[in-house]
Amino acid sequence: MIAQHRQFELKGKSLIEKLQIQDSLQQRPVFQNEACFIYVKDGHSKVISSSENIWISSGEGLVLQCGKYVAQLLQNTSDKACEVYVIHLYPEILKEIYQEEIPSFIKSPATQHTEKLIASDVLQQFIQSLDFYFEHPQLVSPDLLRLKLKELILLLLETREKYTLLELFHHLFTPRQVGIAEVVQAHVFTQVSLEQLAFLAGHSVSTFKRAFKKLFNNTPANYIREQRMKRATELLLVSDLSISEISYRVGYEDSSHFSRVFHRTFRCSPSEFRESASR
């Protein structure tokens, strides 16, 4: 749950947010006409996009472009809250800041949607400067917020991920349409629910099921199970991984559940399948 939420607004929009999370929190942010920078000061977060699963630990940041995401925010310890900063990159505000001198990084070609930034002393100092203003909000003005936003962009372009970010920023402000097949293939072996898959693909659950059936001639549950079982048999045959490790790799956190599904599918346990194949 959110223990504390503070923010600075610019032109009626939430520009910089600071959140403290107790226990855990799952959100489904939709950046339809904007991008954002998320930074985890304490704790860790898992961000799920239509094509990626990215873990962010303390001191790390992530640039997200337009689209839909599932964000899971977690504490590192029970006595210390997860602290997260979100800085929104609205295209109209950026254009106002740069006026007629739109920087070249916005015009550069792009190939990716997200880029994780490893721990950086420079970015940590920037976040600390935001902490100062959250402690002294009377000092914050629209001009200061514009300067802080421009400072962040310049700092991001000085990280060692500079060239990836140069490509990324071109499409930061253009909603990206993703297909069901792309979403499913990206997450078929991960712990993502049907509701989350539908959300990431931009559909209601009922619409997602109908479109999925038309595309794969199968239900989502059957298709995902079949793909996981196929991958499990491959790992049992060609690797020395334990049953629990294989279970995790194909998308089951509970190895007992994995073994039950495997037995229903092949009429034998994973261990028996591996043993018979080795004879």
Domains detected in the chain: 2-171 (2.60.120.810), 180-277 (1.10.10.60)
Q: Average pLDDT for residues 136-159, to the nearest whole number?
A: 89
DSSP string, 220-247: HHHHHHHHHHHHHHHHHHH----HHHHH
pLDDT for 110 beyond 50: no
More confident residue, 142 or 168: 142
Neighbours of 207 (CB within 10 A): 13
Instruction: Judge contact between 60 and 161, C-beta under 8 A.
Output: no
Q: Average pLDDT for residues 4-8, to the nearest whole number?
A: 92
pLDDT band at 161 (very low <50, low <70, confident <90, very high): low
Token representation of residue 248: 């995790």
pLDDT in tens, 86-105: 898 887 888 778 765 545 55
More confident residue, 173 or 17: 17
DSSP string, 50-118: SS-EEEE-TTEEEEE-SEE-EEEEE-SBTTB-EEEEEEEE-HHHHHHHHTT---HHHHS----SEEEE-
Q: Per the confidence metrics, is the pTM higher than 0.85?
A: no
Q: What is the pLDDT of residue 221?
A: 94
Instruction: Judge contact between 270 and 243, C-beta under 8 A.
Output: yes
| Lowest mean pLDDT, pick from 103-117, 151-165, 194-208, 222-236 | 103-117
How far is the first Cα of the chain from the last one, in angstroms, to the nearest whole number?
A: 53
Instruction: Judge contact between 27 and 73, C-beta under 8 A.
Output: yes
Question: Which residues does 90 contact at the CB level (< 8 Å), separation at least 6?
Answer: 13, 15, 33, 34
**From CA 197, how far away is CA 22, in angstroms rounded?**
26
| Lowest mean pLDDT, pick from 44-48, 130-134, 231-235 | 44-48
pLDDT band at 278 (very low <50, low <70, confident <90, very high): confident
| Lowest mean pLDDT, pick from 3-17, 165-179, 215-229 | 165-179
More confident residue, 66 or 260: 260
